[in-house]
Every structure is written in structure tokens, then in C-alpha cells.
């Protein structure tokens, strides 16, 4: 289980950007805002496997807010967010690291346009990618907030069915301009953590919208140009898996198999359990529904363990997987491919988790269940 190559790059950036500090030295994010209403609640959101978790909140007072926390390396998944009728549904990416002080300055409600002052190279690279489309992003936010108003999201009386198609067309048109400009910018830059993050966000949507599918060949060329020693990094492998997915596994098909590892580092395969009913549970520590399902999974294990083999498949990096497994006391088969979303995840074309696959004793996929509702999972599994 190798240390990620790109994470070594990140640590090197930190060493260049700031003086060595203890991992338990708090980071801080301080905001200085004008033209923004006091009493608004601003959130610090951590994204993991496409799920956002609010890890801290503060109320804007006299134009100021502040967050402090402990983190053991550079965080690449933190965003500032405000959920309010006056704000478009967008966010601002902020990189943090032990002991690093970050300043955020804004003069309006368009949060994605707020300036982030940081010594971290990751922040500078990410902002460089978005720089060519800065003005377009501002228009994008304004159209988005108007769209939500006409949807009646905050006030049903504002619902305007006729306005929605017009605004949606404007939104798609502006989004295409933004993607075009950022892709051209990225083609001039060397691979880095922010570069991979932005490219990953685009590649995941390559089959869902014309703004992204139009650049598919460019995405392929960019990945092919990645140095060979970086292509085995999980982030690079995910990009390749999304662009070149394997045959989709469907109900009635033989189940796909691969190498898995348990917490002791032992190698496993689904095939070693063939001849039994098997339930695959794709999960992540950042997925609220996955965590809500754990008590019922424990009940199923107690009541159905003699006729149903349960396998939880974590999409998290090893460190986070170990922490979450201990915290939530997963006592059944608990495996990890160490490939994130580049592994079996792509075989099933999974777009959201929790995601469950029931395999029958003949080795055929019998049922696929998306999402979690209390008691539904147990009722949906008929053995």
C-alpha cells in the first residue's frame, strides 16, 4: 500500500511555501467582507468521494468570520459555502495546511469570486486555472441565483415556468465558455494536485453534458501526456477509469471481481465466497447515507449472517478507511481496493453511494439498490 506520489508533491509544495510546523499546529481561515449581510452563516465543507460534509460553521459579524482546525497535511477538499437566497449555489475552494494562515476577502455575494490570500502553491495553481474565465464565472453565478429564484426554491410565489428554459439555456452557454477557457489554460500547465482535481471534475461529467463531452479527446491527450511515474497514482487512475470504463455490470450478469485488501493487508476476492448470497456495500466516510445505514447493516449481520455474506467496499484512502472502520465498528467483511473510484466502482457506473449489489449463489447479479432508506434495504433483499 504505497504512499501516493502526488501527496509527496503536495508535501514538497508545503515545504517550499512555509516554514516546517508541527502537524498539530492549527490552520486558520479569516474572512474580511464588505457588501455582505451580517448574520449569514458560512460553512466550511469537506468534500470526499463526491459528498460534502459541513465540518465547521461561523456567523458573519461586522464583515468577519474565522475558522481554525487541525489537519495533518495539505487538505485538497475544503470549500467555503453559504446557503441563502441571496447567494448563488456556488462555493470557493480554499486549501489549508498545518500552521498556514489564509485570508479571504470579498466585496459582494458572489462567493466564487472572493479572493484567497494564501502561501500555499496549490491555491495559486487552482486560481491560475480559473483566472481566464473569472468574468464568465461572475455572470455564471448571477444567472444561477436568478434561476433558483424563478424555480421558487426559497419563495414558491416566485416560480416562473416560462423563465426557466431561457435561464437554463443561458447557464449552459456560459458554462461551456468557462469549460473551454479553463481546459485551454490547463493544457499549458504541468500536472499537479489542483490540476488533477479540476480535470477529474470535468471527466466525471464527460458523458453527461456537451460542454464536457466536446473536450473528451483533449482530456485523453492530457492524461496520455502525464509522466509514467504518475499514471499509477489513484487520481490518475480514476481519470483513466472514467474515460475508458469497463463493460457495465447489470442485473443478470456474472459479477466482476478484482483484488481487495482487508485491514490486516490480506488479499481477498469475491470469488472465495461464491456459492452464497453476497451483498456488496460501496461506502465512504464522507457519505451521510452510508453512515446512517451502518446500524441496519449491523442488524442484518446479526439476523441474516448465516445465509448472507456482507462485504463493505470502502472508496476512501487507507488512512481514512482505517479511522472510519474503527469509529463505526464494521464487524463484517471490510475491504478496500486502494483504487478509490478507479476500481469496481466504474464497473457498475456508480454515480452516488451508498450503492448495494446482491449476488446470488450462482454468481449472478440479482439486485442493485441505490441509496438508503430506513428498513428498505432489508426488505429489498429477498433470499
pLDDT (tens digit, 9 = 90+) per residue, 101-151?
999 999 988 888 899 999 999 999 999 999 999 999 999 988 988 888 888
Q: What is the mean pLDDT of residues 189-218?
A: 88
How many CB atoms are located within 10 Å of the residue 252 CB?
8
| Pick from 227, 241, 15: nearest CA to 119 | 15
Q: Which fold has domain 19-118?
A: Immunoglobulin-like (2.60.40)
CA–CA dist 71, 19 (Å, integer): 16
The pLDDT confidence band at residue 252, using thresholds 50, 70 and 90, is: very high
Average pLDDT estimate for 355-361:
94
Q: What is the pTM of this model?
A: 0.76
- Tell me the CATH number of domain 260-380, given options 3.30.360.10, 3.30.365.10, 3.40.50.2000, 3.40.30.10: 3.40.30.10
Sequence-separated contacts (24+) of 68-71 with Cβ below 8 Å:
68/26, 68/27, 68/28, 68/29, 69/26, 69/27, 69/44, 69/96, 70/23, 70/24, 70/25, 70/26, 70/27, 70/98, 71/23, 71/27, 71/96, 71/97, 71/98
pLDDT range class, residue 14, cuts 50, 70, 90: very low
d(CA 364, CA 213): 33
Domains 19-118 and 260-380 share a fold: no
pLDDT of residue 11: 39
The reported pLDDT for the residue numbered 6 is 45
- Give 230's DSSP letter: G
Q: Are strands 260-261 and 51-59 parallel, antiparallel or unpaired?
A: unpaired
How high is the pLDDT of residue 365? 96
Edge-to-edge strands of the sheet including 64-69? 64-69, 27-33, 101-106, 115-117
pLDDT per residue as tens digits for the range 31-64:
999 999 999 999 999 887 667 788 899 999 999 9
pLDDT confidence of residue 5 = 41
Cβ-count burial 213-223 (b if 16+ within 10 Å, e if not)? eebeeebbebb
Q: Are the C-beta atoms of 86 and 37 separated by less than 8 Å? A: yes
CA-to-CA distance for 350 and 182, rounded, in angstroms?
A: 27
DSSP state of 11: H
Is the four-CA dihedral 333, 339, 345, 347 of positive or negative sign? negative
Q: Which of 4-13, 65-74, 89-98, 228-237 has the lowest mean pLDDT?
A: 4-13
- For residue 90, report the phi and psi dihedrals to the nearest 5 degrees: -135, 180
Rounded Cα gap, residues 343 and 257, in angstroms: 10
What would the mean pLDDT of 326-331 be, rounded to a whole number? 91
From CA 267, how far away is CA 66, in angstroms rounded?
45
Phi-psi region of 296 (alpha: psi -120 to 50; beta: other; left: phi over 0): alpha
Contact in structure between 242 and 206 (CB atoms under 8 Å): yes
Residues with Cβ within 8 Å of 28's Cβ and at least 6 positions away in sequence, in order, are 66, 67, 68, 100, 101, 102
The per-residue pLDDT of the chain, averaged, comes to 87
Higher confidence at residue 211 or residue 125?
125
Q: Do residues 36 and 62 make contact, with C-beta atoms less than 8 angstroms apart?
A: no
Task: Please report, for the chain, the start and end positions of each structural domain, with discontinuous segments joined by +.
Answer: 19-118, 120-244, 260-380
Residue-wise pLDDT for 61-73, tens only, equals 999 999 998 877 6
Helical ranges in 159-233 per DSSP H: 163-187, 193-203, 210-213, 216-224
Question: What pLDDT sits at residue 136?
Answer: 94
Q: Taking Cα atoms as reference points, which of 204, 214, 224 lies closest to residue 342?
A: 204
- What pLDDT was estimated at residue 320? 86
The percent of residues in the chain predicted with pLDDT above 90, rounded, is 52
Amino acid at each position: 500500500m504505497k504512499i501516493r506520489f502526488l501527496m509527496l508533491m503536495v508535501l514538497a509544495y508545503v515545504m517550499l511555501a512555509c516554514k516546517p510546523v508541527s502537524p498539530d499546529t492549527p490552520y486558520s481561515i479569516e474572512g474580511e467582507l464588505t457588501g455582505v449581510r451580517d448574520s449569514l452563516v458560512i460553512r466550511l465543507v469537506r468534500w470526499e468521494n463526491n459528498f460534502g460534509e459541513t465540518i465547521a460553521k461561523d456567523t458573519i459579524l461586522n464583515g468577519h468570520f474565522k475558522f481554525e482546525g487541525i489537519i495533518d497535511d495539505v487538505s485538497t477538499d475544503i470549500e467555503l459555502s453559504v446557503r441563502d437566497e441571496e447567494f448563488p449555489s456556488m462555493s470557493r475552494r480554499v486549501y489549508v495546511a498545518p500552521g498556514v494562515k489564509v485570508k479571504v476577502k470579498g466585496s459582494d455575494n458572489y462567493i466564487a469570486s472572493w479572493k484567497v490570500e494564501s502561501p500555499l502553491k496549490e491555491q495559486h495553481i487552482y486560481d491560475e486555472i480559473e483566472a481566464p474565465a473569472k468574468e464568465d464565472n461572475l455572470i455564471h453565478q448571477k444567472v444561477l441565483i436568478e434561476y433558483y429564484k424563478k424555480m421558487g426554491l426559497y419563495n414558491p410565489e416566485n416560480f416562473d415556468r416560462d423563465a426557466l428554459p431561457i435561464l437554463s439555456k443561458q447557464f449552459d452557454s456560459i458554462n461551456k465558455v468557462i469549460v473551454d477557457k479553463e481546459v485551454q489554460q490547463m493544457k499549458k500547465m504541468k500536472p499537479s494536485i489542483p490540476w488533477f482535481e479540476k480535470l477529474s471534475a470535468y471527466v466525471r461529467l464527460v458523458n453527461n453534458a456537451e460542454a464536457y463531452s466536446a473536450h473528451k479527446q483533449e482530456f485523453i491527450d492530457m492524461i496520455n501526456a502525464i509522466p509514467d511515474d504518475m499514471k499509477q497514482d489513484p487520481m490518475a487512475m480514476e481519470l483513466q477509469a472514467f474515460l475508458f470504463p469497463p463493460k457495465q455490470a447489470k442485473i443478470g450478469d456474472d459479477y466482476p471481481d478484482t483484488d481487495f485488501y482487508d485491514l490486516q493487508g490480506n488479499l481477498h476476492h469475491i470469488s472465495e465466497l461464491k456459492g452464497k448470497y453476497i451483498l456488496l456495500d460501496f461506502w465512504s466516510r464522507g457519505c451521510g447515507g452510508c453512515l446512517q445505514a451502518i446500524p441496519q447493516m449491523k442488524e442484518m449481520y446479526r439476523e441474516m449472517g448465516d445465509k448472507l455474506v456482507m462485504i463493505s467496499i470502502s472508496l476512501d484512502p487507507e488512512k481514512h478507511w482505517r479511522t472510519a472502520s474503527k469509529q463505526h465498528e464494521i464487524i463484517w467483511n471490510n475491504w478496500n481496493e486502494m483504487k478509490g473510484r478507479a476500481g469496481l466502482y466504474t464497473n457498475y457506473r456508480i454515480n452516488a453511494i451508498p450503492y448495494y449489489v446482491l449476488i446470488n449463489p450462482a454468481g449472478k447479479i440479482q439486485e442493485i439498490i441505490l441509496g438508503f432508506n430506513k428498513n428498505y434495504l432489508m426488505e429489498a433483499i429477498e433470499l
